[in-house]
Amino acid sequence: MLNSLGREIPEYIEGIGKLEPFQGALAKLRKGWMDEPTIPAPNRAYLPHQSKVCKSLEEAIIRSNPHNGMTVSFHHHLRNGDILLVQTLNILHNMGIREITLASSSLNECHDPILPYLIDGTVTRIFSSGIRNQLGRAIALGVLETPVVIHSHGGRVRSIHTGKIKIDLAVIPASAADCEGNATGSHGKSAFGSIGYAVIDARYAKEVIVVTDNLVDYPCIPLSISQNFIDHVVVVDSIGDASKIATGTTRITKSPMDLRIAKLAADVIEHSGFFLPGFAFQVGAGGASLAVAKFIREKMRDKGIKGSFMLGGITSYCVDMLNDGLFETLFDVQSFDAVVSNSLLNNRRHIEIPAALYANPFNCGCITNKIDVVVLGALEIDVDFNVNVITGSEGYIRGASGGHSDTASGAKLTVVVCPSFRGRIPIIKKRVHTIVTPGETVHVLVTERGICVNPLYKELEENLRRAGLNIKEIHDLEIEVDTITGIPGPLEYTDKIVGIVEYRDGTIIDVIHQLKERV
Amino acid sequence: MLYIPGNNPAMIQQGGVYGADSILLDLEDAVALNQKDAARALVRNMIKVVDFYDAEVCVRINHLSTPFGLADLEEIVPLQPSAIRYPKTESPEEVAELLKIIEKIEDRHRLPHNKMTLHAMIETAMGVQNVFNIASKFSRVDAITIGGQDLTADMNIVYTPDGVGIDFARKRIIMAAKASHIDVIDTVFPDVNDEEGLRKETEYAKKIGFTGKAVINPRQIDIIHQVFTPTEEEIRKAYHIVKEFKINTAAGIGVFAIDGKMVDAPVVARAEYILKLANVTVG
């Protein structure tokens, strides 16, 4: 069957179930309720003064009823410094556990060591918002029989509370915790800031293990994760590589190209009609995205504009803007550097939020619904403004859906920033390899060679033209860039589906086919 | 004016996207001796195919006293970029000789003599001494520039951030340009990470009369534009002056006052210049 973007979606996939085709960004939400029931969270009972502390991660796992076919979940707040996902799977593998469903909120390069477990059947299914490096390559080449499911951050919460992802065991690293499992990421030697993605896991997993390298006296404050959901507590020497968990401060790029694109994007925002007192803003931590914040900061100062809140992945740059009084509040679902942890802990206007509040589409309103302006990156964008942030030009899975489609769907102005080509590869395509974010939720594309406005948004285009910005038709820009780079030959795929890309409402926006290995 | 090394294809290809008014493809100091031929061929081919959008394209050739200068002219002149920039210009005789060669090449290719212009770089003490004759005697010389690093080397002094050693040269060159009614472009600011220093030096350059400034990194372009672009207040004031001037002229009044201050011909000329920079016309 075809979805509304013309992508062929199978009706059923073995190991996944029946699929529902994407029908439009807000199609499922308009009626005001969700058809899928919310599953009950598991009931447990603990006796007074019963100890939860285990001697080792292995002991905690043994107490957690490990079994074949179980689903194990993790958060990715430790970024590329995480060591516990690999350790957990090593333990389960050594116990002979097979057919594990891995439900990590994202997978990074540091998780490459689990590749043998995908090959030998220890891990047979994966739900994640992002997959990279060796895992992404192996999955694209067909290492798993059952397709991986790529979801957004908001979509993951929906999947968990509707029972699409049924977590048997959640392993939650925390930089500080007490003996009852009250836990946080906001202090300790391995501080990583917000632990927002793990809150839903703690709530819905049958067994929850908090792992910390910093056991503090009861109670651990703040209670980012609270004890009433925690079964076991494990103290280890280290939860990860501190140098890769949180670096000092996020620096603004010095790349002239990123700065040029960011400057143009800031001009777009300024003249869009949405750069008003009280505006809500989100930017990523990547080169051009973060640099937009630098230029917006200058414009806010020049024009005396004070915003309402910044949301999302929070960097030290966002903290600076909060401290400068340019925004009232930071809502932090994920923190990007060490300075942020400190602010999260000490500034009451810097608020830790769970992923459900951040972006879950199936509730009474997540904060992404309140965004005025979001700036997002892209691996590819097509002439219909559909964006790919998951598969690379060579066909491997090498990115993350993350909050891309969540924020784009909520924002009044979604600005996608990217160079018009990278290396020799054009970024503007007739058709992207994989759609993650539908074009209807993308208002404007900013490249170094011109600004393209989605024809759905005429008033925006008029505003930007009136401001004298360099507006081009996206078809014209595509041709211009192709003239410089040439058109790359098509990738070759088999009929086998190796990944399905869920839109945030659970419908299927695209599938990823197995890449034919080049010889 | 953005300097781009002539042997760097990636940078040349992206040259037009940064918003510089002018791109300078450099075959001289930015290119190592053993890469001169390759750079010349690259620049020749890139000029033919790359879209530099609204930016003017200039090429800095090697001096004719080097083994590369003549070959540079043979390859570049037929392409007729906006301008040729000639380094270490020291005398009007030298310019005359250079123009003779350029025009010979143009004749061979049946090209006009009035399209491509010449920028004379003043980078030696002798050049500074002769600058008025260099600037004023040739219709094809439409800009002069100062090369700060080479000039300090020629003067046996150290280049300092305050630019005090080349201040006299700067002002002499500006005066020669103003007397000849041509553009005059300031030297580069070498520390690309010092944004405040760049802003200060550019403000000074504007104050003493330069009409533009060369940059070695695209990150420097915005600051140069910010400094040289008239402010909203300046534009508004200039608009008011020119409008009043037109009204008063129509009424046969030569000198008039705005807010108690006398407005005469020089004040009007200055206001018209600001409106020209801002691309504003008074209806």
Predicted confidence (pLDDT) per residue in A160-173, tens digit? 999 999 999 999 99
- Distance, C-alpha A236 to centroid of its chain: 27
Q: Does B113 reside within a domain?
A: yes
Distance CA B272, CA B269 (A): 5
Whether B261 and B135 share a structural domain: no
* CATH number for position B198: 3.20.20.60
CB contact under 8 A, B217 and A259: no
B279 contacts in chain A (CB < 8 Å): none
Residue B282 lies in a domain: no
Confidence of residue A287 (pLDDT cuts 50, 70, 90): confident
Structural domain contains residue B24: yes
Residues B92 and B144 both lie in one domain: yes
Confidence of residue A519 (pLDDT cuts 50, 70, 90): low
Instruction: Provide, as residue numbers in chain A, all residues whose Cβ is less than 8 Å from the Cβ of B19.
Output: 260
Q: Do B219 and A259 touch (CB under 8 A)?
A: yes
Position B80 in a domain: yes
Between B279 and B171, name the one with better pLDDT. Answer: B171
Domain identity same for B252 and B200: no
Q: Do A256 and B18 touch (CB under 8 A)?
A: yes
The answer to whether the beta carbons of residues B240 and B256 sit under 8 Å apart is no
Q: State which residue of chain B sits closest to A480, comparing Cα positions.
A: B51
Using one digit for the tens of pLDDT, what is the confidence trace for A188-219? 999 999 999 999 999 999 999 999 999 999 99
Contact A449 B18 (CB under 8 A): no
CA–CA distance, B271 with B283 (Å, rounded to integer): 15
Q: Is residue B53 part of a domain?
A: yes
Q: Which 243-262 residues of chain A touch chain B by CB within 8 A? A: 254, 256-257, 259-260
Residues in B 48-77 with any Cβ partner in A closer than 8 A: 51
Identify whether residues B219 and B243 lie together within a single domain.
Answer: no
Asked whether residue B71 falls in the same domain as residue B85, the answer is yes
| Percentage of chain B modeled with pLDDT above 90 | 83
pLDDT at residue A248, as a whole number: 64
Same domain (yes/no): B170, B258: no
Provide the number of structural domains found in chain B. 2
- pLDDT score at A48: 93
pLDDT of A205 reads 98
Whether B260 is in a domain gets the answer yes
Which residues, at least 6 apart from A40, have a Cβ–Cβ distance to it below 8 Å?
none
Q: Give B 11-40 residues with CB within 8 A of chain A.
A: 13-14, 17-19
Mean pLDDT of chain B: 95
Number of cross-chain residue pairs from A and B with Cβ atoms under 8 Å apart:
22
Reported confidence tier of residue A33, pLDDT bands at 50, 70, 90? confident
- Which chain B residues contact residue A259 at CB under 8 A? 218-219
Mean pLDDT of all residues in B68-77: 98
For chain A, percent of residues with pLDDT exceeding 90:
92
Residues of A in contact with B218 (CB under 8 A): 256-257, 259-260
Q: Is A479 on the interface with B (CB under 8 A)?
A: no
- Confirm whether B57 is domain-assigned: yes
Q: Are residues B252 and B188 in the same domain?
A: no
User: What is the per-residue pLDDT for B8?
Assistant: 94
Q: What is the pLDDT of residues A448-475, one digit of tens each?
A: 999 999 999 999 999 999 999 999 999 9
Residue B114's pLDDT is 94
Are residues B212 and B238 in contact, defined by beta-carbon separation less than 8 angstroms?
no
Q: Which residues contact A295 (CB under 8 A, 6 or more apart)?
A: A262, A263, A265, A266
Which residue in A has a C-alpha nearest to residue B193's C-alpha?
A: A254
| Interface with chain B: mutation pick from A251, A255, A259, A481, highest number of B CBs within 10 Å | A259
Q: Are residues B119 and B181 in the same domain?
A: yes
pLDDT of A421 > 70? The answer is yes
Would residue B109 count as lying in a domain? Answer: yes
Residues 6+ apart with CB under 8 A from B5: B11, B26, B30, B31, B39
Percent of residues in chain A assigned helix, strand, coil, to nearest 5: 30, 25, 45
pLDDT at A271: 98
List the alpha helices (DSSP H) in chain B: 9-13, 36-49, 69-76, 92-108, 125-129, 131-136, 148-154, 167-180, 195-208, 221-228, 232-250, 265-277
Do residue B185 and residue B84 come from a single domain? yes
Q: Taking CB atoms and an 8 Å limit, are B222 and A263 in contact across chains?
A: yes
CA distance A233 to chain B (A): 49
> What pLDDT is attached to residue A403?
96
| Interface contact A448-B14, CB threshold 8 A | yes
| Same-domain status, B224 and B246 | no
The C-alpha atoms of residue B22 and residue B57 are separated, in whole angstroms, by 6
| pLDDT class of B178 with cuts at 50, 70, 90 | very high
- The residues facing A351 across adjacent strands are A331
Residue A491 CB neighbours (<10 A): 16
B198/B132 same-domain check: yes
Per-residue pLDDT band at B188 (split at 50, 70, 90) = very high
Same domain membership, residue B154 and residue B249: no
Cβ–Cβ gap B51/A257 under 8 Å: no
Taking only the tens place, the pLDDT of each residue in B44-62 is: 999 999 999 999 999 999 9
Query: Do residue A260 and residue B51 have CB atoms under 8 angstroms apart?
Result: no
- Among residues A282, A253, A255, A250, the alpha carbon closest in space to that of A422 is found at A255
Which domain covers residue B20, as residue numbers?
2-228
Q: Which among B17, B51, B219 has the least Cβ separation from residue A448?
A: B17
Cβ–Cβ contact A448 with B under 8 A: yes
Secondary structure letter of residue A252 according to DSSP = P
Contacts of B3 in chain A (CB under 8 A): none
B222 touches chain A (CB under 8 A): yes
Query: Looking at B194, B211, B228, which one is the last position of a domain?
Result: B228
| End-of-domain residue from the set B228, B251, B267 | B228
**Complex ipTM value:** 0.84
pTM: predicted TM-score of the whole model, two decimal places: 0.91
Distance CA A375, CA A359 (A): 16
